[in-house]
Each structure stands twice: as structure tokens, then as C-alpha cells.
Structure 1
Amino acid sequence: MMDAIVPMGAVLVGLDASAGSAKALEWAAAEARRRKWPLHLMHVLDVSHRTWPTYSMTRQVHEPVINNALAHLVRSGEKLKVTWSEPTGDPATTLASAARGCRLVVVGSRGRSAAADAFLGSTTNRLIAQTRCPVAVLRADTNLTTGTSVVAGLEYGRPFVRVLETAFEQAGTRHLDLTIVLHRVPNDEAQHRENDRLARSMADVARSHPQLRVTTHTVRDGAIEELRRYATDPALVVVGSLGHGEFGGAVLGSVHQGVLRSATCPVLVVRDGRKAFVASPPQAAAGA
């Protein structure tokens, strides 16, 4: 078992035994291969509940998670630079700490149940609160077939420059259209101000993506339903977090929590107000 340091500029995927985790692995591997970034697999052994009497027994029981992930990568024929590790600790805090030099973190969610809502409200929220780089969340029923567009969901009154930068970059590298939905605009005056702000931000970002086809929509009510309507066949939905604090707190608004609970495509959460890590060319890592 390799307990490797996470390579600089890697895609870090958090694994467990769930179906959502399997989807997260598949998407993370495809993203790493597409971008020629290293991939690091991490399974955090959460011993806080004291389910198992010893660390060695806990490790023995959970060890197949990494082994199964590596076997899947071998079967899929992914040509990747892969490292892996299996630390102990709180999953959100451990993943966030490991992600300090990463370009992207990918995790799976557990479904649409009350337990899943609690998971999204705790582990994923805390991970997003503590992580500088974008965090991709995938459900067990996520559709990984290539869609026709990338959709960016922007909230009224919130910073959205990094969300736009990420959405433009994702759509550009995928050669897909970009759909921007600005929601929660309360009235005509506010809509005019927000449209001006969006136009100025887009003018700056779009210079790097002159060939990208972009459509924008502004909505006041029913933001989740509108986002679904405009995202009829998305390859990815990009949303921003509220950015409340370094640790804990409700970092996702209700609309974006709803998107995470209901989306059938990958959702990429971007923390605005922070500069993402830009890595130098990564060193060679172990091959899967």
C-alpha cells in the first residue's frame, strides 16, 4: 500500500465504498487524463466513531476501497500518473488539508435521502469551506455522458468572478457552449445593476475564450427550477459558495444546496474571493 504525498497540481478524489464515490472516481480519472494532471486517490479512515477496536483492524477492513479503485483504473485503460494514500482522521478536514496544492477535489454524495442531506450539510459543506480549489460533487445517479453545455449558476449580490472564470475555462477546454443563469434578482432596478456587473465581468473573462458561445438568463423566482430548465443536457454545472469562514458554517446557499441534491450531472463548487492554486509542471508519480 502506497501512502504517498499528494502531488502538486493533482486531482484529488476522496473515496469510500459508496456508489457516488465510484462515479467520483470515474469522473476524476477522466478529468485528470483530459487535462494531463496527476490523480491522487485518498480514502480517509474515519475512526472517530470507534466502530473498530484497533487501527490495524480498521485499515484491514477498509483497504479494498483503494485496491478496488486501482483495479478499476487498470480495467478502464486510463493512462494516468496515479498516487494514493489512506490516512486516518475526519474526512472533510483531512481532504481539505491534502488539497492545499491541488487543482481540484472530487467527492461523491450518497443519494436523495435525509441522511444524504445531512452529509451535504456537514462533510461536503465543511470540505468546501476549508478548500481553496474547486470541489466537484457527484451523485450515484450522475450522468457521465458528454452533454451539450456547461451551466454556471450565479447568485444576486454575490461575488462571481471566479465562478465565471472556472465556467468559461471548463466550457472552453470541453469545446461546449456556456449557459449562465443569474438568479435571485429581486426587482427591475437590481436586475439592471446585476446585468451591468455581469456584462463587465464577462467582458474581462471572455477575452481568453473568444470562440466560446455564451447565453445568459436572469431569473427572480424558482431558481432551482430555472437552472434545471436551462440545463437540459449539461456536462457540468458550476456554482459558487457563500464563503463564510475558513472552518464550518453554511457555505452553500439554499439554491446551490438544492442543485447538489437534485443534479444529475457533476456539480463544481467554486469559492470566490480566493485565488486558486496554479501548479508548476508536476513531477512524475507512480503509474496505475
Structure 2
Amino acid sequence: MKYSKPIAVGVDGTSASTEAVRWAAHNAQLHDVPLVLVAAAEPVAPALAAYAVPEVYYDAGREYCEHILDQADSVVRETDSADIEVRTRLVEGGARSALLSASDRASLLVVGAPSSGRLASGLLGSVTSAVATHARCPVVVIREHVSRPRVGLVTVGVDGSPLSLKALEIAADEAASREATLDIVYAWDARGLDSADERYAQARQAVQSRLDDIVASLISTTIAAPRVTSRLVEDSPESALGKASGDCDLLVVGSRGRGGFTGMLLGSTSQSLLYSAQCPLMIVRDKYTDD
């Protein structure tokens, strides 16, 4: 995927959003596109909506958003991506609608997610799943406190479905932009098959052939093909990709795989990885429309 529009990132002043800003700034530099910092001035709580709320309440909310946007801009300027173009956007309204609106004009939307066990609040947290489900561009979720030195590896989960092949195409471009190795993981759940049974050997060979065809097709059609490795892993997709996320810089998955059904917005694998991935997680959907 060649980026033709800016990268948007949600900010709310938390450490999770700060990590998201750093990641988004680096990616904007890699793809030579502007970075848009998005903050939402939340509306009055429904319980207070019936009362006359002083204008100073709204002024304070806007001032806070301007403050955290300035902070986020400073974070960018302190990184090795300081020379990118940075834009800010303050949206009056809820966080979910602010980020979904930003996704209309972005090649990629980046959000931070609080660490496990912490109450979700503000711009990033409770809306993360909704944004990953409904955004009109691919979404990258940066889990809090999973930052680590880059290892030069982008991992993508495939299962032969059209959406996983789209995720593969995007992952290949991300790997090429980073001069990283692309690791293709095909998770095959062999439960119910005896490894000593001939049917097991036949099924495994069929899956391996499918993976080999996917790799061969990628190499033959990708102009700037990165270094490619591939693995057939006997495990559930959730488990296999969750483990793989501990060893890579970016994990790319389709929003649903072969087990999903038409109309499903976020499958069980991508939903699970939202909470378990140990690295930045990119979720790719088949359609980017106003659901």
C-alpha cells in the first residue's frame, strides 16, 4: 500500500497515546507523508446535558486539548522524525466519532491502548475496539509498554482468504519501507487429526502447498520485495500470531479470515490480538465504508 494521504494518530495526554505518537511519527517519515495529531473535546456527560453548563467548562476542555496537542507535537520534535510535516486537529465531540472522521482522510490511523487491567477512559481505551472495527483505513493499535528496540521483522498472518492476501500486500510494503524481513505465518489448527494418520499428512501437504503458492505469488508480483520467510505453524491463529508478536516490530492481520462470514467486521483472531499482541498491531479490513 503506497500512502497517498497523511497518517492520523489520536492523542489524549496519556503514556499510551505518547507511544502511539512516536510510532506514527516514525511511520510518517518512512512513507514521506504528513502526520495529523487528533484530539477530541468530549461533550458534556448525558447526566448533565439537561442542565445549563457554563461556557467556561467548554473553554477548559478546548484549552486542555490544545495543551495535549502541543505536548504531542513536542514529542515528535524530540524524535528522529522531527523534520516531518505535523498538523493538529481539535474536534468538538466524542473520541469515537473524531477518530472515525479522521480515518476518512488518512492512509493509516494509529491509536494507543492502555495496558491490561487498567480502566479505559478518555480518547484511547474504550474506543479502541470500535475504531479498529469501523475505521475507513487500516488501523494500528499500539499497546502501552510494549516498545522495544527494532529487530527488523514484520510478521503477517495469512490463511489464503482474499482479506489475508490484502494484509500480506500491505505487510510487504511496510517491510520494504523498513528494509526489514517479512515473516509470513500460516496457522493451521490440526486438532482432530492424528499425526500418524495418512489424512494428517495429506492435509498438511495441502496447506503447505497453499502457503508456498502465496509466497511465490508475492515474490513474482511485488516490485520492491523484502526478504521473505514463511512458516506453517500447527496452532490456532490467535495463539500462533500472539506468540509471533513477541519477536517482531509489526504484526499485520486481516480483520477476519477464512472462518469469518460476510458482514463480520472484526473476527475472533483480530479481536483477541487487540488485547494480547506484544507489538504494534495493524488490522486491515476488506471494505472501508461508513458501517
TM tier relative to shorter chain? 0.7 to 0.9
CA pair 19-51 structure 1, distance change in 2 beyond 3 A: farther
Q: 1:183, 1:257 → 2: CA distance?
A: 16
For structure 2, the residue ranges without an aligned partner over 5 or more in a row are: 194-199
2:70 to 60, 63, 67: 67
CA contact (8 A) 1:161 1:272 kept: no
CA contact (8 A) 2:69 2:88 kept: yes
Superposed, 1:103-114 pairs within 5 Å as 103-113=107-117
1:139 to 143, 148, 158: 143
- Deviation, 1:216, is 2.1
- Deviation, 1:44, is 1.4
CA contact (8 A) 1:155 1:183 kept: yes
CA contact (8 A) 1:14 1:42 kept: yes
CA pair 212-60 structure 1, distance change in 2 beyond 3 A: closer
Give the percent of matched residue pairs that are identical in Structure 1 and Structure 2.
Answer: 29
Q: Corresponding residue for 1:266?
A: 280
The one-letter amino acid of 1:136's match is V
Q: Corresponding residue for 2:33?
A: 37
SS in 1 for 2:61: helix
- Deviation, 1:172, is 1.4
The one-letter amino acid of 2:130's match is R
CA pair 225-133 structure 1, distance change in 2 beyond 3 A: same
- Deviation, 1:11, is 0.6
- Deviation, 1:255, is 2.9
The one-letter amino acid of 1:152's match is V
Q: 2:241, 2:133 → 1: CA distance?
A: 23
2:201 is the alignment partner of 1:205 = no
CA pair 192-109 structure 1, distance change in 2 beyond 3 A: same
Number of aligned residues:
266
- Deviation, 1:36, is 1.1
Q: Corresponding residue for 2:171?
A: 167
2:84 to 71, 74, 80: 80
CA contact (8 A) 1:9 1:101 kept: yes
Q: 1:116, 1:203 → 2: CA distance?
A: 43
Q: 1:165, 1:30 → 2: CA distance?
A: 20
Higher relative contact order (CA 8 A, sep 6+): 1
Q: 1:184, 1:92 → 2: CA distance?
A: 35
Q: 1:204, 1:94 → 2: CA distance?
A: 39
Q: Give the aligned CA root-mean-square deviation in angstroms.
A: 3.4
2:183 is the alignment partner of 1:183 = no
Q: TM-score, normalised by structure 1?
A: 0.78
2:237 is the alignment partner of 1:241 = no
Worse-superposed segment, 58-67 or 11-20: 58-67
Q: 2:27, 2:21 → 1: CA distance?
A: 10
Q: 1:202, 1:274 → 2: CA distance?
A: 26
CA contact (8 A) 1:14 1:43 kept: yes
CA pair 250-14 structure 1, distance change in 2 beyond 3 A: farther
Q: 2:101, 2:208 → 1: CA distance?
A: 37
The one-letter amino acid of 1:135's match is V
- Deviation, 1:259, is 2.4
Q: 1:136, 1:272 → 2: CA distance?
A: 15
The one-letter amino acid of 1:175's match is E
CA contact (8 A) 1:148 1:235 kept: yes
SS in 2 for 1:76: coil
Q: 1:225, 1:15 → 2: CA distance?
A: 30
CA contact (8 A) 2:9 2:110 kept: yes
CA pair 45-60 structure 1, distance change in 2 beyond 3 A: same
Superposed, 1:90-105 pairs within 5 Å as 90-105=94-109
CA pair 141-70 structure 1, distance change in 2 beyond 3 A: same
